[in-house]
Chain A
Amino acid sequence: MSEEAADSQASPGSASQDAVAADQAAASARPGDVLRVEHIAKRYGAVTALTDINLHLGRGEVLGLLGDNGAGKSTLMKILCGFQPADAGRIVLDGQEVTFRSVDHARSLGIDTVYQDLALVNQLSVYHNLFLNREVTRWPLLANGKMRKLARKYLDEMGINIPSVDADVAALSGGQRQAIAVARAVHSNAKILLLDEPLAAMGAKEAAIILDLVRDLKNKGQVSVIIIAHNYGQALEICDRVNLLQHGQITFDKRSSDTSVEELNEIVIAEYRRAAQERQRTA
């Protein structure tokens, strides 16, 4: 841990507050963490998307990853799900350093990403979507009856309320669809779920389905979750801990119970103010 602290002090963070927060992140890491991300950096040509990311995720923990547009949330997500490699730094999964070769590789190691509304096939039923590419078969045919029964069981276990597993997912609401996508990931033996803006464009009732689901997962403690979110209120509601991403660095790491929407807003507003001042100075 000591060398990490030294590294993060040498990091090119602009405000000293950044370096301090990174230190805090490193310091609060525990050996039981299911995932640790150390000094991840990523550049796209001349643009530095991530300068020095340090974060950790405890077993059964729900971590909120907050930040403005362009702060680097999606870049970090793409690295964590194996979509693209980082330029520097390391990812430690269950105490072992890993290099993701692809999304499939990351998934096989237990990191599964749930994209907003993207993963389901409208033309297929709920249970076929749940078992897509992991179908139960009685060769050469599908064991539809068995899948139907299992789907019902899984959904009931997870407290997801879908009237009929035979319904086409096209007929479901946004929250229900998202819930099915999460259920699919959980039952493909994911250890870590990355939820990309799970609540975007969702009404309160819809969001409640997902909030409940995540809370449920948390209580069972088998899955660790990273949620990317815009809405601080919703994030604090379900996350154990929140990290704030600014300019490619994590500048804030607190337990949800130790912070508030006001504090998070203030930090972001301060950033806007700083940016405005800088513009005036250079103009």
Chain B
Amino acid sequence: MSETVQRAPGMTGGKPAGPAGRNGGLGGLGRAGRLLMRQREATVFLVVVLLVIYFGVINSTGRSTFFTRLDLVDLSQVAAPIMIIAYGEVLLLICGEIDLSVGFIYAFAPYVMHFFVAYDGLPGILAIIFAILLVGGGVGWINGFLTVTLRLPSFITTLGTGFILGGMILTMGHGEQANLDAQVQGIGKYLGTLGFAEVIWAVGLLVVFHLLLRNTRWGLHTIAVGGNITGAREAGINVARVKYGNFMITGVLGAFVGIQIAFQTQTIDPFSAGAAYQPMFYSVAAAVIGGTAMLGGSGTMIGAFLGAAVLAVLTNGFNVIGVSAYPLQIFFGGAILIAMIANVQFARLRGEGRAR
């Protein structure tokens, strides 16, 4: 066998007849790839640090308010929802799908919680759990059914379910704000009322979802489904189950965040249709900035966490230095495009762009 030992062809993308690479070989390429992967997250981390320095130190006339407690609370409250929803979107993007309806799930769940308490007399904790599981899991399941079983592209599926939910919120809530019931306030403290509650959840869930993606069968199968759906089926992976599951996980995260926001703002607000897209777009942007591939197969939770931090620091930074928020989205757009260009070039470099 030793005479047939093949070094990996360098950057030729593994073409069989290509000139055998004399540079580095297999291990080297793998190591370089992983280093780049780490570097990519490191790059995003660097961006976060630079932005914090810019807004917190350099661009402060006299005393910056960036590092005062209130602003850190603000920052964390902007960042946490994006982070938590982004964990779900990362899973979905990796397995080749997307959820555009998650913003409406987010807006819908607190209403359902309110109805459970006000009309069904459920105890607070049950109302919260049921609302999260029923709305998040239910809508996620419907998204899965339409996408996987009826074979619609998830972009269309979730656009449709999102609109329907948006309409349902306005109809059921009569377009009015609802009050948080006293029965749920006690638990609500730990979900979103306390200043740093949300970001603590975001960090805790980061650990959970990082392990889920990197160190469980579920994560491995999610990557396999997105990386090579035929191969995943060949290996006997239940592709439908993975996709259904990830839609449901994303839905549950969306519902959870929606309820957190209700406690944070101490009101249940029927988002206008436009506003409900914002959390979703931000979380997808965070995932993409963090290096998740829109074509599936790769992405990381830490990247999404850092991507959300970039967006949050940008948002808050503009507030702190008192600059108009109008050009904010120009920076958002730029950040997304730069991240996307980096992703595509990175993928090309790794030779993943070749036929699967």
Residues of A whose CB lies within 8 Å of any CB of B are 103-104, 107, 115, 118-124, 128, 132-133, 135, 137, 140-142, 144, 159-164, 166-168, 170-177, 184, 201-203, 205-206, 208-209, 212, 216
Q: List 11 A-B contacts (CB under 8 A).
A: A107-B236, A123-B352, A124-B224, A132-B231, A132-B237, A133-B235, A167-B27, A170-B13, A170-B352, A173-B6, A173-B8
Across-interface contacts of B27 in A (CB, < 8 A) = 163-164, 167
Q: Which 8 A-B pairs have the closest CB atoms?
A: A174-B16, A167-B30, A123-B227, A159-B1, A121-B227, A133-B235, A163-B26, A208-B4
Quick one: which of A103, A133, A166, A184 has the most chain B CB within 10 A? Answer: A133
Q: Determine if A123 and B16 form an interchain contact, defined as CB atoms under 8 angstroms apart.
A: no
Q: How large is the interface on B (under 10, 10 to 19, 20 to 34, 35 or more residues)?
A: 35 or more
Asked if B234 is an interface residue, CB under 8 A from chain A, the answer is: yes
Q: Does B216 contact A (CB under 8 A)?
A: yes
A206 and B6 contacting across the interface, CB-CB below 8 Å: yes
> Taking the nearest CB of chain B, how far is it from the CB of A180, in angstroms?
11
Judged by a CB distance under 8 angstroms, whether B351 is at the interface is yes
B197 sits at the interface (CB 8 A): no
Q: A104-B236, A121-B231 are in contact. Are A171 and B14 (CB under 8 A)?
A: yes
Nearest-CB distance from A119 to chain B (Å)?
A: 4
Cβ of B99 to closest chain A Cβ, rounded Å:
21
Task: How many A-B residue pairs have C-beta atoms within 8 angstroms? Tell me.
Answer: 133
Instruction: Please indicate the chain A residues that have their CB under 8 angstroms from the CB of B298 in the complex.
Output: 123
B25 touches A141 (CB 8 A): no
Supply 4 further A-B pairs (C-beta < 8 A) apart from A122-B352, A137-B217.
A118-B230, A132-B231, A142-B215, A171-B350
Residues of chain A with a CB closer than 8 A to B182's CB: none
Hey, which chain B residues are within 8 Å of A168, CB to CB? 30, 33, 350
Interface of B with A (CB < 8 Å)?
Answer: 1-6, 8-9, 13-17, 25-27, 29-30, 33, 211, 215-217, 220-221, 223-224, 226-228, 230-232, 234-237, 297-298, 350-352, 356
Complex contact A161–B6 (CB within 8 A): yes
A107 vs B237: C-alpha distance when bound (angstroms): 13
Establish whether residues B352 and A119, one from each chain, have CB atoms under 8 Å apart when the complex forms. Answer: no
Q: How far is the CB of B108 from chain A (nearest CB, A)?
A: 30
**Do the beta carbons of A123 and B216 come within 8 Å of each other?**
no
Residue in A171, A173, A216 whose beta carbon sits within 8 Å of that of B30 in the complex: A171
B211: chain A residues at CB < 8 Å are: 141
Most central of A120, A122, A140 by chain B CB within 10 Å: A122
What B residues does A175 contact at CB under 8 A?
A: 4, 6, 16
Nearest Cβ distance between residue B87 and chain A, in whole angstroms? 17
Whole-angstrom CA separation of A162 from B224 in the bound complex: 21
**B33 close to A140 (CB less than 8 A):** no
Assess whether A171 is in contact with B29, with CB atoms less than 8 Å apart. yes
Q: Are A119 and B234 in contact (CB under 8 A)?
A: yes
Complex Cα gap A167–B1 (Å): 20
Given the complex of chains A and B, what is the CA–CA distance between A151 and B262 in angstroms? 50
